[in-house]
Structures are given as structure tokens and as C-alpha cells.
Amino acid sequence: MTAHRPKVAVVGRGRVGRGLHGALVAAGVDAELVGGRRPGRAALGDVEVVILAVPDGAIGEVAAALAPRTPEGAVFLHCAGSLGAEAFPPTLGRPAGAMHPLVSFAHPKKPPSLAGTTFALAGPAAARRAGRALAEAVGARPLERGVDGVHGPAYHAAAALAANGAAALATVAVEVLETLGARPKAARRAVGALLRTVAENVERVGVPDALTGPVMRGDAGTVRRHREALAARSEAALGAYDAIAPAILRTARAVGLPEASARAVRSALQRKRK
């Protein structure tokens, strides 16, 4: 049976709003894009779901301006990962909650495919039901965060660690490759391809099995050489290496790395930078 594809209005022309709108349209959803600065002018008489992709602090104000222009049964969903239904005014008069696509919208003109991604949902049953229907319509998986937004900050922090952390480390890695003479485009492609294999491993073999490298196997000699090479090229890269290595080492110990090997790696990490 084909999933119902509700008529949607995406409010907000920023990176998330335009990217989400493009991805929804590409998935076959009847979606229109509405500017967030003057939302009261929008004609929303037949929409079923209103998605607010606006700054967190503007959610309540924008929703209040739009609600009178929507059918009584319309559902309001915002895209703020750290908030729940409490972001909406209690007098809204419409079912309201959160639908946060666990997706990186880096370029609004090149929206990612939503198939296989996860939509985190929070709010009352009617709001979560609408979010779940929309997720299923585009081939995404719904993740229930509960009725309120109490777990929102922790959930959003986890998402930021994965997405922002990976992108930040990729930036540093590309910069190091460029110091070796790699062209920027070639360096980006190399690191991007590597990250795709990491993402595939996280899904296929799980964590912590997807974590590899010298710290995981207790190779203190390689860790020492890594740090010496980075110190000669980029203090920022060495700082990033030193910041992430302890987390990797904790995981290595948890899955059985001998204490003697872990101690040798700690010693290599604590050596003073030249």
C-alpha cells in the first residue's frame, strides 16, 4: 500500500528550509516553500503539514502568524533538534511537535536523498503521527523522542558530534593532504570517499567494530610518528588528533586492548610537542 503523501508547506528559505523542500519535492511530496520573514502573507488554506525551518527563537512567533491561515486539522512541526512541542505557544490551536531530519543540508541547491535517513519526532500523538507519515512517504525511518522535548538537547548533541565532528575532522584532514601537495579537489574527494566507507561500516558492522587505526590496536609507534608529522605541518591538526585520541583509546580498552598497550599509547600522546 502506498504511503499517504500529505501536502506540505516548508517555512524558511535558509539552508535547512530550502534543502528540505528540495528533498521533499524530489521524493514526490507536494511541498511549497514559504519565506519565514513575512509568513502571514502565505496562502495555506489546503496544507496538511506546516514545517517550520526557522531559527529556534522564532518558532512561536512564526507559528502564531501562520495558524489562522491553515485548516483546523493542519499539523505544525518544527525542525529544531533540541526542542519539542514546548517551542510552540500553548494557544496555537493546532497539533504541534518536532520533526528533525537527521540529515546534513550542506547545499540548498543539492538536496540529499531522504530515503534511508532518520526523522526524529517529538510532541503529542497527532504531531508524531503526521511526522511518521511524512517520514515513511519519503522512505525515511521515524525515531520517536517522546511527548516532550526533555531529551532534545542530548539527542541533538549526539547528532552534532557525528555530523559536525566528522565534517570538522574532514576539514583538518584535507588541509593536511594539501600541505603534502594534493590539489584541494583531489584531497576532498579522497577524504569524502574514506568517510563514505566509515559510514557504511558503522551501519553494516556497527560500533565499536567500525573504529579502526593505530590507537585502536595499541600501536604506540605509529601514534608517535603521526604526532611528529602533524606537529611539523599543522598545530591545528595535531590538536584535533590529540583531542580525539583519548576517546578512541577508551573504546579500545572497553573492547579488550591490554592495559600495557594502552599505557604505551598514552605515553605517546603525552609527549611534548616539539
| Domain positions in the chain | 8-150, 154-270
- The three-class DSSP label of residue 102 is coil
Distance from C-alpha of 167 to C-alpha of 213, rounded to nearest angstrom:
19
Q: Which CATH number fits domain 8-150: 3.40.605.10, 1.20.1250.20, 3.40.50.720, 3.90.1150.10?
A: 3.40.50.720
pLDDT score at 251: 95
Closest CA to 174 of 166, 226, 106: 166
The amino acid sitting at 223 is V
In the numeric block, which cell numbers belong to residue 57? 527563537
Q: Strands across the sheet with 118-122, in order?
A: 31-34, 8-11, 49-52, 75-78, 96-101, 118-122, 141-144
Structural contact between residues 152 and 43, judged by C-beta atoms closer than 8 angstroms? no
Structural contact between residues 162 and 137, judged by C-beta atoms closer than 8 angstroms? no
pLDDT score at 41: 64
pLDDT score at 3: 59
Strand 141-144 relative to strand 49-52: parallel, antiparallel, unpaired? unpaired
State if pTM tops 0.75.
yes
CA angle 157, 161, 165 (to 5 degrees): 150
pLDDT block averages, 10 residues each, the chain of length 274: 76 92 89 78 84 96 93 95 94 96 85 90 94 90 78 91 95 97 98 96 93 96 97 95 96 95 96 63
Residues ≥6 apart with Cβ < 8 Å to 20: 10, 51, 53, 79, 101, 103, 105, 111
pLDDT score at 1: 42
